Amino acid sequence: MTNKSYVIGIDIGGTNIRAGMIDSKYGLENFVIKSSEQISAEYRAVDRLIDFVANYIDMNAGKAKITAISIGFPATIDRERKRVLSTPNIPGFENVDIVDAFYDKLAIPTYIDKDVNMLMLFDMHNRSIPDEGVTAGFYLGTGLGNAIVIDGQMLRGKNGTAAELGHIPSRDTEGICGCGNSSCVELFASGKYLQYLCDTYFADTFIGDVFKKHGQHVIIQKFVNDLAIPVATEINILDPDHIILGGGLTQMEGFPKEALESAIRKYTRKPYPEQNLEFIYSVPNQENGVIGAGIYGIKQRRRGK
């Protein structure tokens, strides 16, 4: 390893934790994937994460200068981007100060944000989307991820919890959401709900094949239509310059992109913005969140934060 400078990018998911070293040109080196079980624990979860990162640096950094650590969490984060407020799928990270804990142990500046925001930063870089204007990213996966960038600034909100699109209320919705509410749109517009549909109506079909095998079924067509409703809702509010569609659902074999786009257009206000909609799809890759985290850390350093 040379004496170049790097930011350590970390992408934490419910199943896996990914890490890599990102240079000033957003190049990735020493990418690794490990089970999230290494850090997930009711007690000492933060210490486990610090140990994971410290060990990664010891094994991979060599003589390189590590200027920052940047971590994407599947969580709500406070406005100051220091404290993880809630991580429903990873125990041990409820209402904890990550930034100060890392600096106390490793003496390296550390930045955190929502994982979906890191994905958005990667996609904007990868697809050459400019900072100017409004970019809205919709990540249709296990849940309904959303990120909004306005003139180069990620929308955070008063409490840091802006762009929780999956938790806008919907009438006559059954079940309890992971956030505790009983009316969230994510209850019927998410990968979790698609799994329920598979178990209920297509029990012999692996979820990864459901669009390929049952894409014309009225149940699946309604599901795709329902995915479009929250997306169109935000488009009607923001009138974004750029729209990114991504997430695991859109990357499944046979996913009906044209049907989704048609449904989004159906629910978008006429004549505008409907007549001027263009969709940019995220390119699937395991490294995206890690590179996005690196980009975030590099930008924060450049801003002197």
Lowest mean pLDDT, pick from 88-92, 219-223, 296-300: 88-92
Upper half-sphere CA count for residue 177 (Cβ side, 13 Å): 22
pLDDT for 179 equals: 84
Residue ranges of the domains in the chain? 5-118+286-302, 129-281
Q: Which fold has domain 5-118+286-302?
A: Nucleotidyltransferase; domain 5 (3.30.420)
pLDDT category, 88, cuts 50, 70, 90? confident
Lowest mean pLDDT, pick from 120-124, 138-142, 179-183: 179-183
Query: Helix 288-302 crosses helix 115-126 at what angle (to 10 degrees)?
Result: 90
Mean local confidence (pLDDT), 104-133: 97
> How many other CB atoms are there within 10 angstroms of residue 289's CB atom?
25
> How many other CB atoms are there within 10 angstroms of residue 183's CB atom?
16
Query: Does residue 49 surpass a pLDDT of 90?
Result: yes
Q: What percent of the chain has pLDDT over 70?
A: 99
Any residues with CB less than 8 A from the CB of 17 and at least 6 apart, and which? 10, 11, 33, 34, 35, 36, 38, 39, 52
Distance separating alpha carbons of residues 134 and 120, to the nearest angstrom: 12
Shared fold status for 5-118+286-302 and 129-281:
yes
Is domain 129-281 classified as CATH 3.30.420.40?
yes
Mean local confidence (pLDDT), 126-155: 96
Kindly report whether the global pTM for this prediction surpasses the value 0.75. yes
Mean local confidence (pLDDT), 76-92: 89
Provide the sign of the torsion angle of the four alpha carbons 78, 81, 84, 90, taken in this order.
Answer: positive
Any residues with CB less than 8 A from the CB of 26 and at least 6 apart, and which? 125, 291, 294, 295, 298
DSSP codes of every residue in the chain: --S-EEEEEEEE-SSEEEEEEE-TT--EEEEEEEEGGGT--SSSHHHHHHHHHHHHHHHHTTT-EEEEEEEEESSEE-TTS-EEEE-TTSTT-TTEEHHHHHHHHH-S-EEEEEHHHHHHHHHHHHTT--SSSEEEEEEESSSEEEEEEETTEE---SSS----GGGSB-TT--S--TTS-S-BGGGTSSHHHHHHHHHHH-TTS-GGGHHHHHTTSHHHHHHHHHHHHHHHHHHHHH--SEEEEESTTTTSTT--HHHHHHHHHHHSPTTTTGGG--EEEPPP-TTHHHHHHHHHHHHHHHTT-
pLDDT category, 2, cuts 50, 70, 90? low
pLDDT category, 151, cuts 50, 70, 90? very high
pLDDT for 202 equals: 97
pLDDT for 142 equals: 87
pLDDT category, 203, cuts 50, 70, 90? very high
Strand partners, 72: 11, 113
> How many other CB atoms are there within 10 angstroms of residue 76's CB atom?
18
pLDDT for 229 equals: 96
pLDDT category, 162, cuts 50, 70, 90? very high
pLDDT for 15 equals: 85
pLDDT category, 233, cuts 50, 70, 90? very high
Mean local confidence (pLDDT), 200-218: 96
